[in-house]
């Protein structure tokens, strides 16, 4: 496998975009990334296009990339459509990285796009409800769940996970609010963030209860957006003058219905990514992780080895995960503040790390950042996520 570099990155603002369609979001992100790489669209040799829910939310199935990128200048480029729940975009990145690393192409585009807002608000919940064992869900809730949706199913799952974590770690609802407030503060510095207002812990705690212990401001919102990255070989990167950010490792994992205690999907995937990248958690300068609900930050920080089991709350309380701390987590604002258009999230995390390693993040810049990690998971398979991608990027 040969070295692979990120030569361009771009994304839309994550927000509710009632006047924009799937194609306009995808085209903006793709063209921004291509321009950032300093190339014409015609030089791209392969596109891996991540999307999770367009079939339900926009009725576009099967050829989502080919339709979304009409008019972008990328028509005619070989395209593969990648669907892997909330890990769709990071899975697309993994596929594009593999293509370049294997020598199948010199320049590839990885991207993710999602248009989640819809005049019928329950459609988003119908779509998200398909990221579980649907046959089991119908048996539990009846056929109506296929058209009416299961409500905030994933927030109920995350709330249950949070309560179990509180029991074993001593974490409190206030800790979760601290994580949410931290990330809203980070997001207030990010022009691509869906929410751009700093909030304090008391405001998070006072927001509407969704599923105990989760309040509204601890939950990622419904929104729209797209993100894209151009990957290239070392030779192409040097010829373009874009050999700044290297992909040190990218690992895709799948869950099991029953996971071993302490060795779940995120743990297994992260271990393989560290091994491939030749680094450990102690070498990281920043992390973008999948905080679809705020308790996930504490849980995943342990799964990634940033804290010992049960020490996630202590890591948060120490201030180490804030901007200016030892290991900033979600300087972008994370899913809770930046937003979570599910099929775009994985690439948006990677755009943030690539921009940080190129010193392009302004007031949220992590000083001296040299190595960053993303963790993006999706779906639910009995005892945890169904898919997970962990990627390590380094300043070349």
* CA dist list (Å): 348 to 71, 91, 171, 351, 369: 22, 13, 29, 5, 18
Question: Would you say the C-alpha torsion 170, 174, 177, 183 has a positive or negative sign?
Answer: negative
Q: Is 98 left (phi over 0), alpha (psi -120 to 50) or beta?
A: alpha
DSSP conformation letters of 262-275: T--HHHHHHHHHHH
pLDDT of residue 96: 98
Which residues, in sequence order, are CB contacts of 64 under 8 Å at separation 6+? 22, 49, 51, 54, 81, 113
Phi, psi for 232 (deg, rounded to 5): -150, 165
pLDDT of residue 358: 98
Domains 4-120+224-244 and 152-220+246-395 share a fold: yes
Instruction: Spell out the domain ranges in the chain.
Output: 4-120+224-244, 152-220+246-395
Question: Which are the catalytic amino acids?
Answer: 86, 340
pLDDT of residue 145: 87
| Number of neighbouring beta carbons within 10 Å of residue 2 | 10
Q: What is the mean pLDDT for each group of 10 consecutive residues in the chain (396 residues)?
A: 97 97 98 98 98 96 98 97 98 98 98 96 92 93 90 94 97 98 98 98 98 98 98 97 97 91 90 98 98 98 98 98 98 98 98 98 98 98 94 97
The arrangement of secondary structure in 152-220+246-395, i.e. its CATH architecture, is 3-Layer(aba) Sandwich (3.40)
Find tokens 């997001």 and name the residue: 187
Which residues, in sequence order, are CB contacts of 252 under 8 Å at separation 6+? 87, 90, 91, 94, 269, 387, 388, 389
Residues forming beta bridges with residue 47, ordered by sequence position = 79, 109
How far, in Å, CA of 152 to CA of 121, rounded?
Answer: 12
CATH code of the region 4-120+224-244: 3.40.47.10
pLDDT of residue 263: 81
DSSP conformation letters of 146-191: HHH--SSHHHHHHHHHHHHHHHHH---HHHHHHHHHHHHHHHTT-T
DSSP conformation letters of 284-297: -SEEE---SBTHHH
Cβ atoms of residues 268 and 45 within 8 Å: no
Q: Pairing relation of β-strands 224-233 and 4-11?
A: antiparallel
DSSP conformation letters of 19-65: T--HHHHHHHHHHHHHHHHT--GGG--EEEEE-SSHHHHT---S-HH
| Number of neighbouring beta carbons within 10 Å of residue 280 | 11
Cβ atoms of residues 274 and 249 within 8 Å: yes
SS3 225: strand
| Number of neighbouring beta carbons within 10 Å of residue 382 | 13
């Amino acid at each position: 496998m040969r070295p692979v570099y990120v030569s361009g990155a771009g994304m839309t603002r994550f927000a509710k975009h009632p006047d924009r369609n799937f194609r306009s979001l995808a085209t903006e992100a793709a063209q921004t990334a291509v321009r950032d790489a300093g190339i014409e669209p015609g030089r791209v040799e392969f596109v891996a296009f991540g999307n999770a829910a367009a079939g339900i939310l926009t009725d576009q199935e099967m050829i989502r990339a080919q339709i979304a990128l009409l008019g972008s200048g990328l028509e005619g480029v070989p395209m593969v459509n990648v669907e892997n729940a909330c890990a769709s975009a990071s899975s697309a990145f993994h596929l594009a990285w593999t293509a370049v690393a294997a020598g199948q192409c010199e320049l590839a585009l990885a991207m993710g796009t999602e248009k989640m807002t819809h005049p019928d608000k329950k459609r988003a919940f119908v779509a998200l409800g398909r990221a579980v064992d649907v046959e089991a869900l119908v048996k539990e809730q009846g056929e109506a769940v296929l058209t009416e949706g299961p409500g905030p199913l994933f927030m109920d799952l995350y709330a249950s996970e949070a309560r179990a974590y509180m029991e074993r770690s001593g974490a409190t609802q206030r800790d979760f609010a601290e994580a949410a407030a931290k990330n809203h503060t980070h997001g207030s510095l990010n022009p691509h963030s869906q929410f751009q207002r700093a909030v304090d812990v008391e405001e998070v705690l006072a927001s509407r209860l969704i599923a105990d212990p989760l309040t509204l401001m601890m939950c990622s919102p419904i929104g729209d957006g797209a993100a894209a990255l151009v990957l290239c070989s070392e030779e192409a990167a040097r010829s373009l003058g874009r050999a700044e950010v290297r992909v040190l490792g990218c690992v895709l994992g799948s869950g099991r219905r029953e996971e071993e205690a302490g060795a779940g999907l995120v743990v297994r995937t992260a271990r393989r990514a560290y091994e491939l990248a030749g680094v450990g958690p102690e070498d990281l300068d920043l992390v973008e992780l999948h905080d679809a609900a705020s308790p996930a930050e504490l849980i995943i920080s342990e799964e990634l080895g940033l804290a010992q089991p049960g020490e996630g709350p202590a890591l948060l309380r120490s201030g180490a995960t804030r901007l200016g701390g030892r290991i900033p987590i979600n300087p972008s604002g994370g899913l809770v503040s930046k937003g979570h258009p599910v099929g775009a999230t994985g690439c948006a995390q990677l755009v943030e790390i690539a921009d940080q390693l190129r010193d392009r993040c302004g007031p949220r810049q992590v000083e001296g950042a040299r190595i960053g990690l993303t963790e993006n998971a999706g779906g639910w398979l009995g005892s945890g996520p169904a898919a997970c991608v962990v990627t390590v990027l380094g300043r070349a």
